Amino acid sequence: PYKTNATTPIVVGDTIYISTGYKVGCGLFRLTDGKLERLYANTNMRNHFNNSILIDGFLYGFDGDSHNGRNVTLNCVNYETGELKWKQRGLGCGSVIAADGKLIILAETGDLVLAEVASDSFKELTRTKFLTGRCWTSPILANGRVFGRNADGTLVCVKLPRTEM
């Protein structure tokens, strides 16, 4: 109903992945000789405004059939097939980035969540209160620090602990 597509396409080789919210969904297309071939289209990922991220053949992103935070899940989808691998409730309409094999998730309520990059199930490692109020912008990771901002404009920065493996 809003005729919007706020996310950036993900391009891998000759394939283009797109996703949009408001009950529309996602699709993977192949560009050959200037023509698009649809490989799949479904509603397993409906990004509202934050992009999914692609890691090792799987998309991690927030799927929502509404913009009010209800019925929103963090989903893992197979890039090549569009198959839904898992979904996790309770994070609202958040955002996700990744580093060092970990998902860094900023939940809509301001929780900062660290989870394993895993296509078989959601594996939360830790969670902490990071911000208050509504948080829809993606966190930024730079020099071992995570920066986040809420809808009121409050900016927070935390230094991540260094871990030895």
pLDDT exceeds 80 at position 161? no
CB 93 within 8 A of CB 67: yes
pLDDT score of 150: 95
CB 128 within 8 A of CB 139: no
Determine if the pTM surpasses 0.85: yes
pLDDT exceeds 90 at position 54? yes
Q: Which of 91, 111, 113, 93 is nearest to 103 (CA)?
A: 113
Q: What SS3 class is residue 83? A: coil
pLDDT tens digit sequence for 59-75: 999 998 655 556 889 99
pLDDT score of 6: 73
Measure the CA–CA gap between 19 and 9, rounded to whole angstroms: 7
Report which of residues 162 and 38 the model is more confident about: 38
Q: Which of 82, 129, 77 is nearest to 108 (CA)?
A: 129
